[in-house]
Amino acid sequence: MTILQIRSELNLHTRCENQVENEIDRGPARAGDEELCKDYVKDYPRASHRPTRPSRKYNCHGLTFSSRRTWIWKPTEIAKILKDDEYEQIDLKDVLPGDVVVYSTSGDAEHSGIVIEAGFVPMILSKWGPAHEVVHRVNDCPYDSMFITYYRIKT
């Protein structure tokens, strides 16, 4: 039987076989995490808060770019993924379900998600840090939506 460490890094490669720095934290949720999540449910009543418990196993970037397997926290790694995996920037008018959105502040990708419904204000599936997964309008979340960019992966 494999014994896993509480925290470790997964082998996660881009299409160009470059390792993406990541950290999975398998520890349980801390006391108070659930309560803080409930606060966000109250603060964002129009969003759909999925019944996933708080977890540090993956974050928004982990959901968007690594199938919910791990936590990616360095903006340089997001830039690496976008480049190596050949994501192309697209205009809002061309956005379709399945595209991804990246929220940036001062050039750092601080949030991301997957578009699940297109439109003038697209609907996004994401995870809010260690909190739960949320389906929210692109501008209805605790992250700065001033600088958002939509991408589609090239196939």
Partner 1 sequence: MTNPIAVDLTQAAKTYAIANTPYFLVRKLQADQSVRAITDTYSGPEILDALRLAVAKEPSSASEAVRPYALLTALWFKPDMTHLREASQISAPAWSWFSHIASVLIETFSPVQRQLIEVPAQLSSPYVSIGSTIPVKRIIIAP
Q: Given the rule CB under 8 A, which residues bind partner 1?
A: 7, 23, 25, 30-33, 36-37, 39-40, 54, 59-61, 73-75, 105-106, 108-112, 128-131, 142-143
Listed in order, strand segments (DSSP E) in 91-142 are 100-105, 108-117, 123-127, 133-137
What is the Cα–Cα distance from 82 to 97, expressed in whole angstroms?
18
Q: How far is the CB of 1 from partner 1 (least distance, A)?
A: 25
Q: How far is the CB of 93 from partner 1 (least distance, A)?
A: 27
Q: How far is the CB of 148 from partner 1 (least distance, A)?
A: 14
Instruction: Return the number of the residue (1 or 31) whose C-beta is nearest partner 1.
Output: 31
- Alpha carbon of residue 84 to chain centroid: 18
Instruction: Return the number of the residue (2 or 106) whose C-beta is nearest partner 1.
Output: 106
What is the Cα–Cα distance from 42 to 18, expressed in whole angstroms?
41
Task: Give the CA dihedral 24, 7, 108, 46, nearest 10 degrees.
Answer: 50
Instruction: Return the number of the residue (39 or 94) whose C-beta is nearest partner 1.
Output: 39
Instruction: Return the number of the residue (87 or 143) whose C-beta is nearest partner 1.
Output: 143
Instruction: Return the number of the residue (56 or 150) whose C-beta is nearest partner 1.
Output: 56
Report whether 13 contacts 20 (CB < 8 A): yes
Q: How far is the CB of 126 from partner 1 (least distance, A)?
A: 9
Q: How far is the CB of 2 from partner 1 (least distance, A)?
A: 22
Task: Using DSSP bridges, classify how beta strands 87-90 and 148-153 pair: parallel, antiparallel or unpaired.
Answer: antiparallel
The conformation of residue 80, written as its DSSP 8-state character, comes to H
